[in-house]
């Protein structure tokens, strides 16, 4: 599979016909998706019509003719966008998310809907109402989550590149499990308009790609202030493609002391070797401290669930999405005298049936920590610890240019292995959550394989709005290794249908 950059250049040079590119990709999706489940649904006719419109009227921007896969929580006008949930089934937004709009303005062909954990609540893409996604390296294992569909599609060659979202590691962890590259930008670098919210102070959209340069290309398209998102930062967007071609020699790499509990031996060995590679490339390693990173899980699951509880209160079956069948139009009627009770029952039945178990768990937890008598004890304390963590990152990144951490404590685990143990599932994000709490940019890229042949990812973190530095360091490591050039055996994936 050619990278997005290679496709763009060959299409621009006339060496490739975008119609042929799209046809071959759609054929590949039809062969691979039954086994992997990377997409909830694909409509070849609508996607082909989109390309024909692009060929007739343009625009012919920096991604002209390049297909880009879109996660199911990013609104695409007129396309069902369900956020992996039953409660939003049938919802067709009347507008594009800003990131989708910018891809279209760049000439890309957008392909909805990559599978995901319901409302991004998960680390394995097993909580989707539309069934799980499987890891193309081993279809008995998870692809990570919540952007597992996007990562699995890129790894399997069923996507050229994709957009995911990251609230606590949902781009980086699946990128690590699937052996691809995933970037979470600084909070405010990319517009959240049209991103169906999980936790509004943590969510960020970003690219999942085959290599670091493609990450730079997509980020250069989707980044920048948006007047429709009050949290998007009025910051100039650097030339990220120019940044990846610059030397990383002389950059300082901070090595924090991290929670070692549950850290797999293969992951530890891969990280040690990655450190040696960076040193051989002329980067300097320095010890740094992140004193409050041990509280990341607890802090995150207070703040994120509180915000999720608030955001998901709007899904009640009244204006859009799914409604409990006994209250659907033409279904059970409500007597005028009991209208108020009937509306309440409709809310209760719709929400109880429309959300899956993990979504209900997080709504209940978030409602609890925001409730009277518990707000100060939980949510307010969580916000104070978040402030301390932000200060920790500021202090550490004043001593170095990037931090080096594992992306996940283990390689991909087996389907169903952690579904009945939420705490173990939450610990899958122990190394990624803190970057969201601090609002800093982070990237995951392949750095090895386990003894079982599963990809391992390393994570680099930089100061706010220093994505260019992050990409320089990541590209230098990538060019010195060949991990990103290794791909799963698709013939075995197709046979697993």
- Catalytic sites, residue numbers: 71, 146, 170
Cβ burial of 368 (10 Å; 0-12, 13-18, 19+) is middle
Cβ neighbors of 338 (< 8 A, separation 6 or more) are none
State how far the alpha carbon of 294 is from the alpha carbons of 259, 286, 386, 467, 492, in Å: 6, 20, 12, 25, 40
Element spanning 166, H or E: strand 162-166
8 contact partners, CB below 8 Å, separation of at least 6: 62, 63, 64, 65, 66, 217
The DSSP secondary structure of 194-235, one letter per residue, reads TBPPS-TTT-EEEEEESSHHHHHHHHHHHBS--TT-TTS---
- What is d(CA 195, CA 97) in angstroms, rounded to the nearest whole number? 6
How far CA 410 is from CA of 79, 264, 290, 299, in Å, comes to 36, 5, 21, 22
For 99-140, the DSSP string reads HHHHHHHTT-EEEEEE--SGGG--SSS-S-TT----BTTBTT
First to last CA, the chain: 21
Please state at what angle helix 212-222 crosses helix 467-480, rounded to 10 degrees. Answer: 160
Q: How far apart are CA 315 and CA 15, in angstroms?
A: 48
d(CA 254, CA 21): 42
C-alpha to C-alpha distance for 182 and 165, rounded to whole angstroms: 10
């Amino acid at each position: 599979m050619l990278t997005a950059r290679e496709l763009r250049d060959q299409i621009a040079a006339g060496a490739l016909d975008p119609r042929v590119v799209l046809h071959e990709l759609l054929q590949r999706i039809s062969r691979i998706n039954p086994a992997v489940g990377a997409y909830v649904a694909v409509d070849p006719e609508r996607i082909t019509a989109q390309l024909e419109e692009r060929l007739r009227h343009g625009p012919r921007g920096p991604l002209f003719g390049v297909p880009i896969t879109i996660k199911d929580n990013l609104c695409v006008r007129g396309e069902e966008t369900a956020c992996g949930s039953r409660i939003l089934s049938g919802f067709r937004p009347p507008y594009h998310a800003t990131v989708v709009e910018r891809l279209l303005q760049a000439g890309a062909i957008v392909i909805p809907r990559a599978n995901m954990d319901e409302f991004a609540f998960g680390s394995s893409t097993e909580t989707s109402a539309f069934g799980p996604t499987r890891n193309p390296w081993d279809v008995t294992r998870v692809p990570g989550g919540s952007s597992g569909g996007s990562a699995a599609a890129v790894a399997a060659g069923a996507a050229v590149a994709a957009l995911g979202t990251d609230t606590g590691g949902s781009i980086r962890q699946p990128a690590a499990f699937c052996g691809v590259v995933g970037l979470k930008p600084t909070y405010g670098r990319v517009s959240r308009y049209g991103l169906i919210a999980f936790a509004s102070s943590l969510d960020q959209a970003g690219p999942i790609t085959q290599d670091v340069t493609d990450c730079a290309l997509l980020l250069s398209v989707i980044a920048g202030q948006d007047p429709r998102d009050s949290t998007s930062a009025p910051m100039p967007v650097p030339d990220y493609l120019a940044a990846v071609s610059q030397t990383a020699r002389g950059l300082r790499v901070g090595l924090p002391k991290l929670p070692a509990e549950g850290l797999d031996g293969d992951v530890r060995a891969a990280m040690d070797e990655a450190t040696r590679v960076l040193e051989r490339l002329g980067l300097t390693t320095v010890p740094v401290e992140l004193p409050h990173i041990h509280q990341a899980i607890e802090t995150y699951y207070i703040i994120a669930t509180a915000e999720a509880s608030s955001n998901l209160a709007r899904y009640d079956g009244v204006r859009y999405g799914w409604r409990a069948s006994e209250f659907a139009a033409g279904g059970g009627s409500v007597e005028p005298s009991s209208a108020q009770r009937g509306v309440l029952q409709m809310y209760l039945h719709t929400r109880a049936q429309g959300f899956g178990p993990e979504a209900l768990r997080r709504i209940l937890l978030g409602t609890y920590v925001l409730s009277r008598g518990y707000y100060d004890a939980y949510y307010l304390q969580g916000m104070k610890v978040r402030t301390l963590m932000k200060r920790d990152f500021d202090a550490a990144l004043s001593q170095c240019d990037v931090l080096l951490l594992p992306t996940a404590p283990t390689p991909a685990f087996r389907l169903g292995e952690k579904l009945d143990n939420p705490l173990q599932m939450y610990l899958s994000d122990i190394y990624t959550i803190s970057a969201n709490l601090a609002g800093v940019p982070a990237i995951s890229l392949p750095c090895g394989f386990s003894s079982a042949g599963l990809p391992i990812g390393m994570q680099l973190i930089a100061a706010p709005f220093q994505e260019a530095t992050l990409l320089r360091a990541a590209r230098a490591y990538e060019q010195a290794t060949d991990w990103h050039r290794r791909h799963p055996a698709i013939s075995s994936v197709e046979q697993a249908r």
